[in-house]
Amino acid sequence: MQLAAIIVSLTLTVVGVALLARAIGQFVRYFKLGQPVPAGARTDNPYQRSVTLVREFLGHTRMNRWGIVGFAHWFVAVGFLTLPPTLAQAFGQLFQADWTLPVIGGFLPFELYIEFIGVMTILGIAVLMVIRLLSLPSRAGRKSRFAGSKAGQAYFVEYVILTIGLAIYVLRGLEGAIHHVEGYEAAYFASYPLVLAFKGLSVTTLQTLIYFTAMVKISTSFIWMIVVSLNTNMGVAWHRFLGFPNIWFKRNADGATALGALQPMTTGGKPVDFEDPGEDDVYGVSQVEQFSWKGLLDFSTCTECGRCQSQCPAWNTGKPLSPKLLIMSLRDHAHAKAPYLLAGGGKDMEGNEKATAEQLKDVPAAALAEAERPLIGTAEENGVIDPDVLWSCTTCGACVEQCPVDIEHIDHIVDMRRYQVMIESAFPSEAGTMLKNLEKKGNPWGLAKKQRVEWTKEVDFEVPIVGKDIEDLSEVDYLYWVGCAGALEDRAKKTTKAFAELLHIAGVKFAIMGGDEKCTGDSPRRLGNEPLFQQLGQENVAMLNMAFGESLNEDGGVDESTKKPKSAKKIVSTCPHCFNTIANEYPQLGGEYEVIHHTQLLQHLIDEGRLIPVTPVDGLITYHDPCYLGRHNKVYTPPREIMSAVPGLRQQEMHRHKERGFCCGAGGARMWMEERIGKRINTERVDEALSLDPDIVSTACPFCLVMLTDSVNGKKNDGKAKESLQVVDVAQLLLDSVKTPADPEPEAPAEEPEPEPAA
């Protein structure tokens, strides 16, 4: 038994280590196929990145959002990293059954730790296995977050962990027996029942059992290593290694998710200069090797847990997009194509092969066939990603928010969209109207710029316009960026007028840009038209810098609450998309401003006592979190604080809210595209709201307001929603409460009848 155990264990060890070394080399060469990233973009502030990595792993800050799953996974992950000493002990036990590790062997704290982590690893993996079994796609269909995951690989990994954990536990019991543990000892607090069970066996039998169990532990460990080394696209196994660099190299060193700003389009690791493009510049991604090395690392790190899929509004409404399946498809395609690319293969802009026949002669036929597949194409075209998958994305950020290993789904989707729009001109036709209107008129509806100020005629106070009523913004506290919807869309204009009136009541000096405002470029950028975003953005930045005038070189003093400098360039916006673009993306174009959302300013004015809600607004209200206000910019509290300040309102959250809020369906330029597949996203969201039987559905975004109102009106027409149900912006609610109802005019006293003349 001992000889067999030694031969089997050492043979598997040698093979496993050799294959693992080869696999690591393959990964290094594979990641080098990706494009470089801008200098310092992934390596700035290494200390903070290391702190982020330690915090995310040891704290399981992203995993623990799912309660018991995160708790169980923590022990499995920590056990995997800290139980290798038990593997070393097993090697020693092959040669001497009662062998213990030098120095730490028999050290009570170490023994206690091994007992505790060993048992918790067994319990943790058992919990995860039960959860997977309860969520079988065969039972739950699309509702299962594991739908589409490679179940066989997952079960293999889980049973390996369970087997190793049980082997450690059995070995602990055998060790106690062979070391003649006569009574209960703290060092064997978990395995003591096994110590008692093995106590009556002979020394020879104990030795044989130790040889056998040590072999099982070692063999299982290295069979796992062999299998995963031969399958480098086995994300459910490799994530435990690749997750660490993927987190360390994430976009933001401080640990913030890759939301908010989109990254500039790059080629060769440098931003594309659209005014003077290079001959070899690549626009977007049309081949998998055109993703950055970080993109390729993202794909390989996916653990197929399906958290992104479970939260995706497209997947939840019957559309073909699953962020998980998209990443898995890109991963499998990239790994299958890698031998061709590593041999020097590749296509130029005209589609001609770069490599010679001699270079490609040893490339497997499967890799050559994979290289012929279009990255974006229908099933008939054998495409890797179907166009319907690409255009279903609302860029809501739910996938990025939920991913435990920090995969940056939205950046990859937009990169593929960029190529489709800019090179292939292949995008939903109705979005073309929006692009043409932006190019010609600077707004998605194609309306004349003078119509941007029509709403100012509908309020009974003066709204100053920069360049007309005031010279520059040095005379006011805030520039109110009204936005296209806020100025031109009838429902959104109600929010605009309400917010402007609230500022007037609070005595806040503000001004607007009027007809000089243009679309910030949010929709064209997320559609993939980067040049149009650059054009609109640069024009707006130049206009803003001129409007701020001397204040560009001033500061706004010190904020007493934070002790930080205040900017003199203050912009407030009622549109989260404008807010996000100006705050997070205009710095890429040289526009640095302090930008806040109108709910943040209104909450501040309430706190200061400059706005006092007094009139009750009765009813049950539920709030819809706009994706670009919530997930993308982490503004959750101000809208809720405003509603709490309004007397009479009773708040109730929808099931999906805050970080797990459900999209209205308008983001990612979907506002301008028809939904032809599955259930409409706004209908799904309104159905969730109606399940609470509210009197008011509130939000804080003009796009959300339009989408929710459209669906509610449809429900009213079908008799599925009560006629009294309102969809309003929180600013409208606040105004209704701040404005004291006018006192009714006193009735004139009744005239006394004239006395009748005496008879």
The tens digit of pLDDT for each residue in 309-364 reads 999 999 999 999 999 999 999 999 999 999 999 999 988 777 788 888 888 999 99
Residue 756 has pLDDT above 80, yes or no: no
Whether the CB-CB separation of 572 and 510 falls below 8 Å is answered with: yes
- What is the C-alpha separation between 690 and 681, in angstroms, rounded? 14
Residue 564 pLDDT: 46
Mean pLDDT of the region 258-266? 95
For residue 387, give every residue at least 6 positions away whose Cβ sits within 8 Å of its Cβ, in sequence order, or none.
376, 377, 378, 420, 426
For residue 642, give every residue at least 6 positions away whose Cβ sits within 8 Å of its Cβ, in sequence order, or none.
599, 602, 603, 606, 730, 733, 734
Residue 759 has pLDDT above 80, yes or no: no
- What is the C-alpha separation between 706 and 719, in angstroms, rounded? 20
Residue 132 has pLDDT above 50, yes or no: yes
Percent of the chain with pLDDT over 70: 95
305 residue type, one letter = C
For residue 595, give every residue at least 6 positions away whose Cβ sits within 8 Å of its Cβ, in sequence order, or none.
481, 570, 571, 572, 573, 579, 582, 583
Distances 226 to 221, 231, 239, 333, 620 between C-alpha atoms, Å: 9, 9, 16, 22, 59
Residue 112 has pLDDT above 90, yes or no: yes
Mean pLDDT of the region 120-132? 95
The band of 565, judged by pLDDT with boundaries at 50, 70 and 90, is: very low
Structure tokens at 16: 């496993």
pLDDT tens for 632-676 read: 999 999 999 999 999 999 999 999 999 999 999 999 999 999 999
- What is the C-alpha separation between 294 and 402, in angstroms, rounded? 19
Residue 140 pLDDT: 83
- Ranges of H-type helices in 96-150: 108-134, 137-140
- The pTM is what? 0.92
The band of 513, judged by pLDDT with boundaries at 50, 70 and 90, is: very high
Strand-pair category, 696-699 with 726-729: parallel
pLDDT tens for 571-616 read: 999 999 999 999 999 999 999 999 999 999 999 999 999 999 999 9
Whether the CB-CB separation of 622 and 697 falls below 8 Å is answered with: yes
Partner residues linked to 132 by β-bridges: none
Residue 663 pLDDT: 97
- What is the C-alpha separation between 66 and 708, in angstroms, rounded? 29
326 residue type, one letter = L
- What is the C-alpha separation between 592 and 567, in angstroms, rounded? 10
Structure tokens at 233: 């696209």
Residue 757 pLDDT: 47
Supply the DSSP string of 251-306, one letter for each residue: S-TT---S-SSPPPPEETTEE--SSS--TT---S-SSGGGSBHHHHHHHHH-----
The band of 436, judged by pLDDT with boundaries at 50, 70 and 90, is: very high
DSSP category for residue 404: T
Is the domain spanning 619-738 CATH 2.30.29? The answer is no
Structure tokens at 248: 């360390």
426 residue type, one letter = A
The band of 758, judged by pLDDT with boundaries at 50, 70 and 90, is: very low
- Up-side HSE of residue 24: CA atoms within 13 Å toward CB? 8
Residue 64 pLDDT: 87
Partner residues linked to 570 by β-bridges: 594
